[in-house]
Amino acid sequence: MSEAEIVKQEYEKRIEMKYGCNPNQKPAAIYFTPKEKLPFEVLNGNPGYINYCDALNAWQLVKELRAGLNMPAAASFKHVSPAGAAVGIKLSELDRKVYDCEDVELSPLASAYVRARGADPMSSFGDFIALSDKVDLCTAQIIAGVISDGVIAPDYEPEALKLLSAKKKGNYPVIKMDPSYSAGEMEYRDIFGITLAQRRNDAAIDKSILSHIVTKNKQVPESAVVDMIVTTVAVKYTQSNSVGYGLDGQVIGLGAGQQSRVDCVKLAGRKVQTWYLRRHPKVLELPFKPEIKRQERVNARVRYIEGDMTEAERAAFNENFTAPLAELSPQEKTEWLAGLNGVSISSDAFFPFRDSIDQASKRGVKYIVQTGGSLREDEVIAAADEYGMVMALSGIRLFHH
């Protein structure tokens, strides 16, 4: 009898999957404590190994946001890190135009997902969705119109479940999570046949993490409090090193899995710049042909902003439009980005040097939350003071692997 077969016999409650991370990794199953009920129910489809990795991490994120801010929350997950996360703050008319939902009814939960998905829509293509509240028809209609790999939520309205279950020719994974479920104190992971154990990271992320402000400027509006908590919870579930930028109750740029922290700041910062440039009038007024689909429009706007194309690529790109395009010049980009301000940034560990603060200042950052404890802490704080920023030291490291 194989080792996999022996393990299966030891667990009475399990869900079989086709394979693990890759097709050659067979057999695969998701296990829970022996002879106890699983804390979720698969209502439709057959989620895979990576789906479960995304779903269970994403669920923790939205559950924490719901508890910490008392607002509906959503996360868009890809490969065990969020592409976006947000709470259900009402979208402005400009937001609706940028996110292509001008004529759609949006509940608070739907607003949260539109924000989460809209932060980095190219990364969110094929995401796994987590929602903190019962899924209404409005939110299901938004999900029905995007390319995603599944959804996890505490419950679903009947019509919402019917609509979601029809995706992917009836194979769309829909998971119902028990909202009262709480994991045990310890968690375990096998690497190369060795089992590692650690206390689960149950550090609470709420307003208390902002109590130790070390900069001269100590004024934090309530909107920034929300942004700092949203980004901090998001980086808690992002592969380290990680840094997140936030504004208007949503993550607007995440840098994940970088060995250098300043590289995280730069990577996430580039996403922030693209997010903000999508609001430029030239981008919003691109003359798309009627047959161009929503995701194609999203991709085209990003490519237009980036502007790095060969002549052949540009010729093919121009076929999407009814008229020649006016270039978005570097000067226009610089002038537009100068209007970005009031942004929050959160880091899953301390900033070791002031270079991260200098980089953050170029992306409109005003509010910072980080662990603290760098040997050069005084230099980091002094840099924040130079820019008139507010910096809170949470005292909590949030590495996630």
Distance CA 213, CA 390 (A): 7
C-alpha separations of 49 from 53, 79, 313, 348 in Å: 6, 11, 36, 26
Q: Which residues pair with 368 in a beta bridge?
A: 345, 391
- Token representation of residue 206: 């709420």
Q: Is 241 a catalytic residue?
A: yes
Distance CA 296, CA 282 (A): 17
Nearest by Cα to 275 from 36, 86, 25, 63: 86
Count the Cβ atoms, other than its own, within 10 Å of residue 340.
20
Q: Is 401 a catalytic residue?
A: yes
Query: Does 241 sit behind a cis peptide bond, omega within 30 degrees of 0 on the bond before it?
Result: yes
Instruction: DSSP for 285-327, please give it.
Output: T--B-TT--HHHHHHHHHHHHH----HHHHHHHHTTBSSPPPP
Q: Which of 8, 79, 168, 282 is the catalytic position?
A: 79
Q: Which of 22, 70, 169, 401 is the catalytic position?
A: 401
Measured in degrees and rounded to the nearest 5, phi and psi for residue 159 equal -70, -35
Q: Is 212 a catalytic residue?
A: no
The CA-based angle 239-244-245, given to 5 degrees, is 165
**Could you tell me how far CA 365 lies from the centroid of its own chain?**
19
Q: Which of 44, 57, 241, 320 is the catalytic position?
A: 241
Distance CA 265, CA 256 (A): 9
Q: Which of 78, 236, 271, 366 is the catalytic position?
A: 78
- Token representation of residue 346: 């959160």
Positive/negative CA dihedral, 65, 139, 272, 126: positive
- The residues that are catalytic are 78-79, 241, 401
